[in-house]
Amino acid sequence: MSNFYICSYGGSGSWMLVNHLEKFGKAHHVHTRKPLNILCEVDGEHFTTKPVADTTGHQVVFIYSEPEWSIHCSDSFSPRHWINIGVDQDAISTRGDYIRDNIDIIKYEEFFDNYHEMQNRNYDILFIRFENMWDNLDKISDYLGVSFDSFPEDKYKDNPKKINRMSVYDNFRDRINNLEPVFKI
């Protein structure tokens, strides 16, 4: 049986991917901000410190989006979500205030780097850029060994979400714009 660990900072289609992958095995929704170098079991939405005995059949995915996309997602802008991703829930008031203040309290780039820059892991990580996911389903299918024939259609393609860009995320946005939309490390 396959085990999929779908990691993200939220607002990046992680639940959609989890729901699809559950057809092919056990799929875990993970919001651990800083994973260990050894693949560990999951409790709730976080990795524990109990190592997976045999990593065969276990696949880790980090799905991400532009920070502003995540900010505009209703499920990932709430006090409960802040707790899940390790952010002080009292540090953030409203979405409008967060955008206006232009301060990176959520630390999206740090969250991303905790997966992207991690060395000496006993597992690979497949990175998927949410905004480009539908154009790369064949590649994702090859990496994960599952079909995406019944995957939901891209509801944003013909009706793009309007998001406010925040200059505090310019450098991070530039970094992820220069990465392949799907890659494994």
- Rounded to whole angstroms, the Cα distance separating 4 from 14 reads 11
Number of domains in the chain: 1
- In this structure, is the dihedral angle defined by the CA atoms of residues 129, 135, 138 and 139, taken in order, positive or negative? negative
Domain with 123 in it = 2-184
pTM attached to this predicted model: 0.94
pLDDT tens-place values along the chain, 185 residues long: 799 999 999 989 999 999 999 999 999 999 999 999 999 999 999 999 999 999 999 999 999 999 998 988 877 888 888 888 999 878 787 888 999 999 999 999 999 999 999 999 999 999 999 999 999 999 999 999 999 999 998 887 766 667 778 999 999 999 999 999 999 99
